[in-house]
Amino acid sequence: MTRSEGDSGPSRLRVSRLRIHPVKGARGCDVEVLDFDEIGPRGDRRWMIVQPDGDFLSQRAAPALATIRAELDAASLTLRAPNAPAVTLPVAPSGQRMRVRVWSSSLEVARVGPEADRWLESVLGTPHHLVHMGPGDLRPTDPAYAPGHRVSFADGYPALVVTRGSVDELSRRAGRTLPVERFRPNVVIDGARPHAEDFWRRFAIGERRFSGVKLCARCKVTTLDQETGDRDPDGEPLRTLSRYRRIENLVYFGLNAVHEGAGRIRVGDPVRILDRGIVRGAL
């Protein structure tokens, strides 16, 4: 795994894209601002599709989730999918509460309601529930990496950061352009050298401060086209990542981060690196 501790200078580091994924596993969308609350970016992975027994559904098992688009406004969540009528749901759920599981986490959250469940069954072909995480629902981050923080239905941490330099370097090594959407980030930063984010222990975006707590181990979801759900015929980017970003049996790309307090970041915000050092992977 290569080391690159530098960047191109604080004045050149800027946020180029911000993205949210309202429904975990479904398609993401670009936004101009991210408002952070206690859990993470508002509107990001606050909804999740679960099987009847409460286990979460992801693109690992259901690549077709990439074709589900979620549009969010202050009052409603609209879901769209190919060959299916759109459904518009209230942001505030009305269904019963149920226990769900996200990796090693287990918590009780609210079902959105029967209309959402009927729509999911029509799209996915089998019964599923749409659930919602409210502000009072508690899911802590891994205390081994980020004690005292909370997270939405994201895999483990409130925000995922990647740099354009890292995506470009990976594309160069792969011999083809790899879209940043494959990595499902919240924040894309321009101006850094490839994989400089591996060493960002503390940084500021605009006036908001963040801590890099864990490198992001990547899985086969990165090999899925985030528009169609089709598998990459060359196994990219995992094939190339395994050649130069492997530690033991995992490959890493991007930085999991936690935030300090509520507030807003915007596209175009400057990024300042406050503390550099080793950020751990899953060792």
Predicted local confidence at residue 6, as pLDDT: 52
Q: Are residues 21 and 64 in the same domain?
A: no
Task: Please say whether the beta carbons of 66 and 28 come within 8 A.
Answer: no
Tell me the CA distances in angstroms from 80 to 46, 133, 198, 226, 255, one per residue in order. Answer: 17, 21, 36, 15, 30
Asked, for residue 2, whether it belongs to a domain, the answer is no
Distance CA(168)–CA(170), nearest Å, equals 5
> Is 4 within a domain?
no
Instruction: Give CA–CA dist 140/39, Å, rounded.
Output: 9
Residue 5 resides in a domain: no
Q: How many Cα atoms occupy the beta-carbon half-sphere of 237 within 13 Å? A: 29
68, 118: one domain: yes
- On whether both 151 and 28 belong to a single domain, the answer is yes
Shared-domain flag, residues 261 and 160: yes
Examine the domain organization and report whether 120 and 151 are in the same domain: no
Based on the fold, state whether residues 35 and 51 are members of the same structural domain. no
Q: Going residue by residue through the chain (283 aa), what tens digit of pLDDT does each one get?
A: 544 445 654 459 999 999 999 999 999 999 999 999 999 999 999 999 999 999 999 999 999 999 999 999 989 999 999 999 999 999 988 789 999 999 999 999 999 999 999 999 999 999 999 999 998 999 999 999 999 999 999 999 999 999 999 999 999 999 999 999 999 999 999 999 999 999 999 999 999 999 999 999 999 999 999 999 999 999 999 999 999 999 888 999 999 999 999 999 999 999 999 999 999 986 4
Q: What is the pTM of this model?
A: 0.94
One domain for residues 215 and 185? yes
Residue 80 sits in the same domain as residue 175: no
Q: Are residues 159 and 244 in the same domain?
A: yes
Statement to judge: residues 170 and 261 lie in one domain:
yes
Q: What share of the chain is helix, strand, coil (3-state, %, to 5)?
A: 15, 40, 45
Q: Do 125 and 156 fall within a single domain?
A: no
Whether 69 is in a domain gets the answer: yes
What is the number of structural domains in the chain?
2
From the list 89, 88, 91, 80, the residue with the least C-alpha distance to 123 is 80
- Beta carbons within 8 Å of 62's beta carbon, 6+ residues apart: 25, 124
202 inside domain: yes
Q: Give residue 282's pLDDT.
A: 62
Choose the final residue of a domain: 89, 114, 132: 132
Q: What is the pLDDT of residue 13?
A: 98
Residue 78 resides in a domain: yes
Residue 84 structural domain: 47-132
| Co-location of 111 and 149 in the same domain | no
